[in-house]
Every structure is written in structure tokens, then in C-alpha cells.
Structure 1
Amino acid sequence: MMKALPRLLALSLAVALPGPAFAAQTYALVVGVDQYPNDVSLDGAVRDAEDVYRSMSAAGFKVVKFTDAEARKDDIRKAWTDMVATAAAGDTIIFTYAGHGAQMPELIAGDEADGLDEFLQLPGFDRNRYEETSGEIIVDNEMNAWFSEAEGKGVHVLFVSDSCFSGGMSRSIKGKSRLAPAVTVKLAPPSQEAIEGANLKEINFKQVTVLAASLESQPTPEVIIDGEPRGALSWSFARAVEGSADRDGNGIITRIELEDYIFSNVKNRSEALQVPNFMPQVARSESEVVVTLTRGIPVATADTGTATTTSDAGGAAGTDKVIKPASDLGWTGKIALEIDGDAQKPANTDGIGTPFRWDVASGVFYTPNGDVAAENVGPDRIQAVVDKFVLLDFLKAMASQNPGSVSLTPVKDIYAAGTRLRFDAPPGRYPNMLVFNLANTGEVQFLDMQAAGTDSAQFKLTDVEVVKPFGADHLITIWTAEPVDAIGAVLADRNVTAATLLQALQTRLDGKEASVAIQPLYTRETL
């Protein structure tokens, strides 16, 4: 979680950002670290940085990237200084970081409510040789000073931190956490900025937005996305910048558009392990802009001086986005599966990447993240469970372009037997809605269909009790303007399989405009 700038929470951030300046430029500073010579290394942070770098370069941003040993504080600081010097009022600087975060006793007495400063840990830092290597951390106080420099020029800042500083989880995840061990002894400030930055907590930042990977109570684990270890926030942010978060296709991503996109996709890709955290927690205005894409940079017309939008994406800005079929988004119709024991290999399990795992003797089916997805899975049930996750990957691909939002109450990583839950699917902006559950058994459970209305109505499941069998269910809601009667007929068949439903969804909705929400529900007998 990003508690690296806790003082920002105390700032008064009520003033709305103005709209983007004409021909505003976006600069980006990208840092990703896997290799930590003096600490546990990570597996997906550099992959995150490369992904974000590609998406921002394609969007026309001026990007500087540092990965692994290149990520030295002096070089990062100079890149930031150069960007601030070059940027004009109304421009934007985006700083993304994927790597370890950590905590240390506060550098300035009384500066932090919890007595701890947070810092980004670069590869050159060795907590056992602090005096010699303290120059290779970036403390929250220092970042306040950096942001203040941009603020002073009227430059907007978006800081995206895919790291964590504290927290724990109930579920057993085998992926690495982006949390480095805390420094436990009182240390000298690593720079003068680390002292001066402590005094900036009273500054009324008006143009700084921080997007953190998770809440303070949660860790930031690396999770498997498309077969590879990744940070769910970085993956989602890269897709957002590619244009998926630009819901109205006008070339700008507002804070509200980014919130809607990031919250939903981080939940989908982390299997509900993370809830991102924005600071300030509420958008300054409904129209607050956080990212301007090249295809929609405002320009002044010669006759009136008013802003119009341009497009270099093959279509006019402001029109509906092109919806890609799932196969264009990396979906293959297969998963990778490792079988522990003697059993026939199910169909559609020759995918690549980190595999699911089936322990034949115990009957336990594990996700690539290490979660228990299903129990009592024998040869008679394994194909149904495999088909469920093939379908789920298809739905995640659909959701990555147009995610919806649903909720499960209470919010937990995992739910014990006997827990009572409430599931809410709010009305969508499309008239037709489908609601169904993909059970841990592989069974498809039809819950609701609303068709041919002007607006879909809210769907609720109240007082639902967690019972056997345990594992991972996924509650799915789809909103669309496409006809859904044929899909509803398939769902209404009590013997419908995930494979049959997949075929119906491919035929009717693949590549069509539809909003998809996925609510993971992980259960076990006791916590």
C-alpha cells in the first residue's frame, strides 16, 4: 500500500484542477526494480515498468525509464528536475514506481502520527550499511519537496506507486510482496530535502494526485496476470493509458474515469486482494483531468480560439471506442495446468506461463497465485473447473476494456463458513443485464436477467451464507445494449456448462460493447 505520503492526507485538496491547457504535454518518469542485491528480489516490477513505458510512449508522452541497477537516486532526481524545468503550466508529470517500499523511524520528531516515515527502496540501499547507502532511498518528505517544485510552476503531478509499506493478508499467496523489512533504528536524514520536506505537510497541494496499489491494511502482492508475475496496479494503469479508461473517447482521462477503471480492474486482476487508494480520496471536481492522451490533446481553433480535439488513433475523438475481441487482448482459450499425481490431462490446459495446479490425491485445485480455488476435484470434475477458469479469463479480457462495478459486504480477503454476505450489482448504463455465479465446482448458477428495458435495475443478494464446498466463486454481472435473450436461454438451462456459456458469450458479445464486473469470493471452513 502507498502510505509513502501520509501527510498528503492531511492537506486541504478541495480546489479543482483546471482543464488541460491547449496542446498540453505529458512527461513521464518510470522506475521499476526487481533486482535488490541486499534484499529479496522481485519478479514482476521491471515487467511492470516496461509495460507502463510502452503504453505511455505510444500515447505520445515524453518518457524516461530506469530499471534495476539504472535506478539510482541521483539520476532519478535529475530526470525529475529536468522535467519540471521543461514543463510549462498546465503540463503533467506522471511518476510511476514499481518495487519495494519500507518504513523507518520518523526522521523529524513529531512529524508522523504513527512515528514512521515511508520510503521507496532503490537497489543500491543496504540497511546494514545505512550511512554509506542512505542516498539510495527516496523518503516521503523528499517526494513532498519534489512535488512542491512542480506545484510551484502550475504543473500537474500524478504519482502511481505499485509498492507497499505495511499490511497483512488472510489468504495464502505464493507471490512475492513488495514490502521490504523495516529499518528499526533511528537514522540521520539522507538529505536536506528530507528535513525541509517535513515542513511541506501544511502546503495546500492543488495539482498533485497519488494513486497507491492498496490500502494501508493490505499488502501489495505480485499476482499472476497472463501467466506472468505482475503488479495489478501497474497492469491496470498501462491499460488505462492505452485508452481503456477513456470511457467517452475524448482523449482525456478524468479522475473519475481513472477511479472507475482502476478500482474494477485491480480487483479483477488481484482476485480481490487489493483495493487501490487515491489521495485526495475524493475527486476535486467531476471534470478533474489526470491524464491527457495524444489523440485528444486540446488545440486552439484559428477562428474562435476554442478547444477542439484531434485524433491520431484512426478515428475522431469523442466517438465510441473500438472494442476488441478477447483474442486480441491475449486470451487464448487455454490455461496452463500442472498435475500432481496420475490423471489424464483435461482439454484446454496446454497454455503457457505460471500454471494452475491440481493435486489429484487431495483433490485440491490451486490458482497460479497459490489460492485454493476448489476442493474435492476428482477426474469427473476437473474439466468443469478448467472450463470455468478459461471462461473467467475471457470475462477478464472483456472487463479490461469496459469494467463495471459491484460490491460484496462485508469486504474481506477470505470468508469463513457461516459468514453471511450481501452482493449488490447497481444499475448499469446499458438497458440489458445478466447476473450469474461461476461456482468453485465449475457449475454455472443463473441469478438474473433484465432485458429490453430503458435502464437495468439494481440486483441484490442478501443474507447469503457461506457453506461447503469451499474455494473460489466468481459473481459475474454483464451490462450491454446487445440482445441478451439467447444468452439468458443458455443460462436458464440447469445443466449449462461453462464451455457452453463461453460459446454463447463469444457469439453474442465478443468484440461488442458490454461492461463486465467480476466479484471474487474466496471461502474456507475456518480462518
Structure 2
Amino acid sequence: MRTYRRLSFAFAALGALVFALIAGYGGAGAAIFAPGGGTIRALVVGIDDYRYQRPLQGAVADAKDLDRTLKAARVPPANIALLLDRVAKRQAIVDAMERLLAEARPGDLAIIAFAGHGTRIREMYENTKPDHKDEAYVLADFDENNASDRSELIAGPEMKSWIGVLDGKGVDVLFIADTCHGGGMTRTFQPDSNILTYRQIDLSKEVQLEATSVATVLDAARDAASFPRLTFLAAADPSQKAPEVKIAGEATRRGALSYAVARAIEGAALPRGAGALSRGDLFEYARQRSLEYTNGQQTIFTTPGEKAKLGEPVFRTASGGEPVPTPHRLDARPIRVAVSNGDLALLSNVKSRIAKFEITEDKAKADLVFVPEKRKAVSDGDILAEDVSAADIPGVVDRIYASRALTRLTEDRWQKFRLGPDNSLHHAGDYVSLEADDAQGKFVIVFNITGSGQVQYLYPPAGGGNYPFGGTTWSMQAPVREPFGSDQVVAILSKKRLADLERYLQDHDGSFIAGTLPELIRNHLDPERDVRIGMATIVTQPWKGIVR
């Protein structure tokens, strides 16, 4: 991606895999209020412990996080129904929804969140879907092979029916569906990688809901855009999977969307001086954060999409957009490294560079897998670095640490930063573009962290000075070049010039200093949140058709 000097563009991979980093956004958010002046009510569901299906790791943590966040935002505990694991049976959810419908009044805000497995079942009403399938939310006791447990689902038309009732009563609805109903991955999963969990089950046979349902054929035929009061965020569109990812400071893997929405409710997405969080700001924040947490593997789906509706508030706040103090503590927990062939002796004499690491025999619990026979390091399904030996692993560890730490640092000071043309695998000879919005009058610094932990200075050009950017959108293009693998491009925009940071990056251009960056950048963060950070992951390989 080097524009001002030869640069490798094997861009950032999968930093969503390893961890190491900062304690969260802060916690004590300001009170939030329904945009219509009424009461906020919530139904929050999280399921990890599936009796007959593959278990998940972070759905319960997602639900508990949102529950805590809403209570911290002054939502009365009595107004929140939290259903976890085996408690989240079909009848319990139906009962909770019926209570919500009965109690809701015009001007209220209803928050509905589901974290767990999704699937697709035979449509409830014929010819209401082009593929004749309804999406469904899978509950803890669902078993496609057992008639008595086959209806432990919530079908999409049922959710639409309930949302339609709320919409008709003049109730605003925020619906977060942290699940997926089909589709594949943005990039091919590397078989040597540690294990990823996805919030999706594929049924071995066609299943139809066999329970009494409130859904009508009209409900089945509606789409999310037909509910004017609905703000909807889904973890993935039908063409993608939603992975559970490692987020620094979190004890388990998490759903990127749920985590991002919780931080948005705490105030991380509020523009400075704003008294409300708009749909557009929530969507932009959740989309950017989900891409960063998953290293470009997950693109969320949101609606409405019409420009006129994106300015409407999701909730109001008493903070006026003032920043909430955030303790950005660096997490010193070691990164776990496995060896694909089990020969742990290969790493026994390898010492850490900056970030600590520990060797594990269990690949499923590893953050990073070293594949010595292929000379590559992989993590969460992506090749992080190619042509590496055991001696190079400390640099890869630092890359993971830096990626995780910087991602966490950006939670309350995120910068809109885009990779083009998309987040798929890029090849030698391709060109990629990088764009940062809202750059008018800002000083811009851009650098790249390769998969092996090397830092490459990109912008502004060395020796050319750094001046406030004159346009609205900063952009640059760069060719894909070796080394190939997965790099992370970081853009820092600030109202004041960060001359010493700029100088440090210039002086250490080409050096393996990734592990030093989180502490250095943290020291430049201002309480006014005028320093903004955006990140983009770019994964590359030499030529199309090459099997690695």
C-alpha cells in the first residue's frame, strides 16, 4: 500500500482473533430515554447451552452485557426481561413478548435482543418467500429429530407479528438479532486455524414450525422496511456467517454486533454535543466496530436505509454527547500459541518481544497457530503471516496484541474508515483503496501493521510536512504486494498535530515495533475525544487460484 515508498500490502488480518488488551469502554453511561417520551422496556435473550446443537461461547455474555448496560443507563430492572440458556424456552419467550405487548404504550421504546443460533425452516405460509424459507431463532431445547422439541424455535413471521403490534401502538422498536440464518464466509477458512464458532445451524432435513402461532400470512410476507418505527440490526445478511470473536478484556468470545450496540448505548457512538443517538450514527458505529472486531469478516445488515429516516433518534440521552470518562487499561494477559503438528519444542526457546505469549497444546483454545511445515501463522480462519519461522512468532504475537489493543482503544473515539472495493481476499496486482470520512481540517496519520508485526509508515509523506486536510474525505490507493497474509491499516485523525507520534512512526518505518504502539497511542488520547482512530483489515495472497 505504499504510496511514498515501496510497501507491502498484505493487509490486516484477523486481528479479531487474538487478544490482549484494554478494559472496556468505561461503564457508567448516561441515562437514556425513549425518543417518544415514554418508558423503555426490554426483552433480552442469550443462549450458549444448547441441548442438541453445537454450543456457543458468548451469547449469554452478550445478553448479560446488554442487561447491565441498560440498567446503568437507568432503565428500571423491572422493565427488563432477561432469559438465558434453558430458561429461554419458546413458551417463556412468548409469555415475555405478550407482557411486553400488553404493557407498552404510545411513545415507549421496546428493545428486543436475541443472541444465539439461527437457522432457516420451511416457510409458514406458501409462496411468501422467494426461496420458500423463513428465518428462525433457535432455542436451547430445539431438536429437529424429536417432534416434541422441533417447535423450540421462534419463526421470523412471529417476530414480525409482535413488532407489527408494537409499531401499530406507536411504540418505537430497537431489534438486535445477533445470529445468522445461512450463508458462507467472506474469505476461505484456513484448515490449520484455531476453531471458530458461528451462530448458525444447518438442518439435515426440512423443518416446519409445529406450534400454535400468532403469525399470519400478512406477517410472513412483510419485510423489516415495512415497520416505520423499527430500527433493526442483524449480525449478517443471508450471504454471510456471524463468527464469535475474541475481544480484548472479555473472558469469552463475543458477538461483535451485541458488543458494539452495548457500547453505543453507553455513549460511545454519540456525536459530541448530541442529545440523541440517531439511527444513522448507530448503524455506522456498529458496522465499523463489527468489521474491526472481526477483521473484516462480518458485515452487519441494518434497516431502514432511507436517508430521511437515518436521522431519526433511536434514543435520547441526558449527556448532551459529552464524553464519558474511559479508563483505557492495557491487558497484559498472554496470547496463547499452538503448533499445528504438536511439536511444542519448536517454540520452547523463543522469547517474547513486547507482548507475552504462552504455548498451549489445545489448538481450540489458541489465539494463534504456527504451521511450521507451511511456514505460516494462522488465526481465526485467516493466514496472519506467511513465510515465517519460529523466530518470527514474537512479531506475529505483537501484531495480534497491537490489533486487539488498538481496536479496544477506538471504542469511544471511532473514526469512519473504509477499505475498498470489499473485504474479500485480495491478490497481487489488485489495487485497494482506503477512505476516512469527516477529515476536513484534521491532521491525518496512516500506518500499516503487517502480519509479522512490522510497522510501515504511509502518510503524510516523510519530510513533506503535515497540514490540516482540505477535503471532506481523505483517501489513498495502493497495490497489493508481498509479503502476503493479513495486515492492519490504522488511520489517526486529530484536530491538533501529533508531531511526536508522527516522528516516531517515521523514524521506525520498517521496524518490528507493533507491540509498542498501544501504549504510545493511548498516551495521545484526549478526554475531549478529538483524536479519532479507524482501522481496516486487508488479507492478501499472491495470485487467484493458488491453494495455500
Q: TM-score by structure 1 length?
A: 0.84
* Cα contact 2:271–2:321 (8 A) shared by 1: no
**Aligned residue in 2 for 1:336:** 335
Are residues 1:222 and 2:257 paired? Answer: no
Task: Please state how far the C-alpha of 1:323 moved relative to its aligned partner.
Answer: 4.8
* Cα contact 1:323–1:512 (8 A) shared by 2: no
Mapped to 1, the partners of 2:522 and 2:411 lie a distance apart of 16
**Aligned residue in 2 for 1:326:** 328
Mapped to 2, the partners of 1:320 and 1:19 lie a distance apart of 19
Mapped to 1, the partners of 2:170 and 2:458 lie a distance apart of 51
**Aligned residue in 2 for 1:175:** 196
Find the residue that maps to 1:442 and give its secondary structure.
Answer: coil
Mapped to 2, the partners of 1:334 and 1:457 lie a distance apart of 40
Cα 1:337/1:515, change in 2 over 3 Å: same
Q: Following superposition of structure 1 onto structure 2, how do residues 424-439 of structure 1 map, counting pairs within 5 Å?
A: 424-428=435-439, 431-439=442-450
Cα 1:185/1:510, change in 2 over 3 Å: same
Are residues 1:384 and 2:370 paired? Answer: no
Task: Please state how far the C-alpha of 1:491 moved relative to its aligned partner.
Answer: 1.6
Find the residue that maps to 1:411 and give its secondary structure.
Answer: coil
Are residues 1:243 and 2:267 paired? Answer: yes
Q: Following superposition of structure 1 onto structure 2, how do residues 126-525 of structure 1 map, counting pairs within 5 Å?
A: 126-130=143-147, 132-169=148-185, 170-172=187-189, 174-182=195-203, 184-185=205-206, 187=208, 190-196=211-217, 198=219, 201=222, 204-226=226-248, 228-248=252-272, 250-292=274-316, 296=317, 310=318, 317-318=319-320, 320-327=322-329, 331-333=330-332, 335-340=334-339, 341=344, 342-343=346-347, 344-347=350-353, 348-350=355-357, 354-359=366-371, 362-367=374-379, 369-428=380-439, 431-449=442-460, 451-453=466-468, 458-462=473-477, 464-493=478-507, 494-496=509-511, 497-509=513-525, 513=529, 514-525=531-542
Find the residue that maps to 2:215 and give its secondary structure.
Answer: helix
**Aligned residue in 1 for 2:3:** none
Are residues 1:92 and 2:112 paired? Answer: no
- Identity rate of aligned residues, in percent? 27
Task: Please state how far the C-alpha of 1:430 moved relative to its aligned partner.
Answer: 5.8
Cα 1:516/1:185, change in 2 over 3 Å: same
Mapped to 2, the partners of 1:232 and 1:37 lie a distance apart of 24
Q: Structure 1 residues 495-504 or 413-422, which shifts more?
A: 495-504
**Aligned residue in 2 for 1:112:** 129
Cα 1:339/1:76, change in 2 over 3 Å: closer
Cα 1:182/1:194, change in 2 over 3 Å: farther
Find the residue that maps to 1:206 and give its secondary structure.
Answer: coil
Find the residue that maps to 2:448 and give its secondary structure.
Answer: strand
Cα 1:351/1:235, change in 2 over 3 Å: farther
Measured on the aligned residues, the alpha-carbon RMSD in Å equals 2.7
Mapped to 2, the partners of 1:504 and 1:244 lie a distance apart of 22
**Aligned residue in 2 for 1:7:** none
Segments of 5+ residues of structure 2 without an aligned counterpart are 1-32, 360-364
* Cα contact 1:144–1:200 (8 A) shared by 2: no
Task: Please state how far the C-alpha of 1:152 moved relative to its aligned partner.
Answer: 1.9
Mapped to 1, the partners of 2:331 and 2:220 lie a distance apart of 53
Structure 2 counterpart of 1:162, one-letter code: D
**Aligned residue in 1 for 2:6:** none
Mapped to 1, the partners of 2:105 and 2:526 lie a distance apart of 43
Mapped to 1, the partners of 2:102 and 2:440 lie a distance apart of 43
Q: Deviations over 1:360-393 (max 9, x none)?
A: 56542233x2422112223543333333332222
* Cα contact 1:107–1:186 (8 A) shared by 2: no
- Larger relative contact order, structure 1 or 2 (CA cutoff 8 Å, min sep 6): 2
Cα 1:188/1:404, change in 2 over 3 Å: closer
Find the residue that maps to 1:128 and give its secondary structure.
Answer: coil
Cα 1:501/1:350, change in 2 over 3 Å: closer
Task: Please state how far the C-alpha of 1:200 moved relative to its aligned partner.
Answer: 6.0
Find the residue that maps to 2:246 and give its secondary structure.
Answer: strand
Mapped to 1, the partners of 2:476 and 2:321 lie a distance apart of 36
Task: Please state how far the C-alpha of 1:456 moved relative to its aligned partner.
Answer: 6.1
Mapped to 2, the partners of 1:145 and 1:200 lie a distance apart of 11
Segments of 5+ residues of structure 1 without an aligned counterpart are 1-17, 297-309, 311-316
Q: Deviations over 1:469-517 (max 9, x none)?
A: 2211111111112331111111212355324544542332375622111
Structure 2 counterpart of 1:108, one-letter code: Y
**Aligned residue in 2 for 1:63:** 80
Counterpart of 1:79 (choices 96, 109, 112) is 96
**Aligned residue in 1 for 2:15:** none
Find the residue that maps to 1:261 and give its secondary structure.
Answer: helix
Task: Please state how far the C-alpha of 1:281 moved relative to its aligned partner.
Answer: 2.6
Task: Please state how far the C-alpha of 1:186 moved relative to its aligned partner.
Answer: 6.3
Structure 2 counterpart of 1:175, one-letter code: L
Cα 1:201/1:383, change in 2 over 3 Å: closer
**Aligned residue in 2 for 1:48:** 62
Mapped to 1, the partners of 2:243 and 2:90 lie a distance apart of 24
Find the residue that maps to 1:400 and give its secondary structure.
Answer: helix
Cα 1:427/1:335, change in 2 over 3 Å: farther
Cα 1:429/1:123, change in 2 over 3 Å: farther
Structure 1 counterpart of 2:475, one-letter code: K
* Cα contact 1:438–1:475 (8 A) shared by 2: yes
The total of aligned residue pairs comes to 481
Q: Deviations over 1:376-424 (max 9, x none)?
A: 2235433333333322223212211121122222213322344332222
* Cα contact 1:145–1:196 (8 A) shared by 2: no
* Cα contact 2:423–2:538 (8 A) shared by 1: no
Structure 2 counterpart of 1:46, one-letter code: V
* Cα contact 1:212–1:276 (8 A) shared by 2: yes
* Cα contact 1:250–1:318 (8 A) shared by 2: yes
* Cα contact 2:124–2:220 (8 A) shared by 1: no
Structure 2 counterpart of 1:139, one-letter code: A
* Cα contact 1:472–1:521 (8 A) shared by 2: yes
Counterpart of 2:46 (choices 11, 16, 32) is 32
Task: Please state how far the C-alpha of 1:284 moved relative to its aligned partner.
Answer: 4.3
Task: Please state how far the C-alpha of 1:272 moved relative to its aligned partner.
Answer: 0.6
* Cα contact 2:337–2:357 (8 A) shared by 1: no
Cα 1:187/1:383, change in 2 over 3 Å: closer
Task: Please state how far the C-alpha of 1:211 moved relative to its aligned partner.
Answer: 0.7
Cα 1:393/1:249, change in 2 over 3 Å: farther
Find the residue that maps to 1:271 and give its secondary structure.
Answer: coil
Find the residue that maps to 1:384 and give its secondary structure.
Answer: helix
Mapped to 2, the partners of 1:210 and 1:240 lie a distance apart of 14
Cα 1:287/1:66, change in 2 over 3 Å: same
**Aligned residue in 1 for 2:36:** 21
Cα 1:59/1:137, change in 2 over 3 Å: same
